[in-house]
Amino acid sequence: MPFKDRSDAGRKLAKALADYNKQQPVILALPRGGVPVAAEVCAALKAPLDLILVRKVGVPFQPELAMGAVVDGATPIIVRNEDVIQAANINEATFNAVCDTELCEIEQRRQRYLGTCDRVEVTGHAAIVIDDGIATGATMRAALHAIRARRPQKLVLAVPVAPTSTLAELQHEADDIICLEDYEIFGAIGVYYANFRQVSDQEVIDILKRFSTQTLKSAKQPIT
């Protein structure tokens, strides 16, 4: 297995991202699996952590089939998969209703994970978007669109593992792509981890507290 667990993948990813250490990067993770990976990068780069909350917009009668994705933000980003929408004969009212449902779920998750915490400032910074791996790339594409709209100085996609073809499809969505392992024939992401246990909500909350902007600022205050 290329990776023992998500922490091991994060430490290896942090080494590959070492050149960003002096650029005051901000880290944005896709929960829940991307958060333990991102934690190791934050620790190495001394960077703040925020979430980028993405939900697949599934076809109502086949929810695992993505007809789009939605991303949280002051103005939510909606990415449409027109081929699936047409093939499944989905009308606008149905598409919008599913989007609204997923946006409600996103808001509930943001409150659960972050409460009233301030969002990390992305504008003018190198923004590094992290997950524990990529499969089809639909949710990651939506995430990158949303972060691009927040005007980062540079947009970086960083993942431990992904299909070679998906990376090629995403190459125009980010300014830099760091992927430790890519494969022409790709199985499920968990195949590449010896331990791919489920990440709990509490683990996400605890990691966010460790690497919040306020926590990092407090750690840098001189002792008087």
pLDDT in tens, the chain (224 residues): 899 999 999 999 999 999 999 899 999 999 999 999 999 999 999 999 999 999 889 999 998 788 988 998 777 888 888 999 999 999 999 999 999 999 999 989 888 998 877 788 999 999 999 999 998 888 898 899 889 989 999 999 999 999 999 999 999 999 999 999 999 999 899 999 999 999 999 999 999 999 987 555 555 544 43
Enumerate the domain spans of the chain: 6-51+115-220, 55-114
55-114 matches 6-51+115-220 in CATH topology: no
CATH 3.30.1310 assigned to domain 55-114? The reply is yes
Domain 6-51+115-220: state its class: alpha beta
| Model confidence, pTM | 0.87
Structure tokens at 57: 């917009």
Q: Cβ of 139: how many Cβ atoms within 10 Å?
A: 21
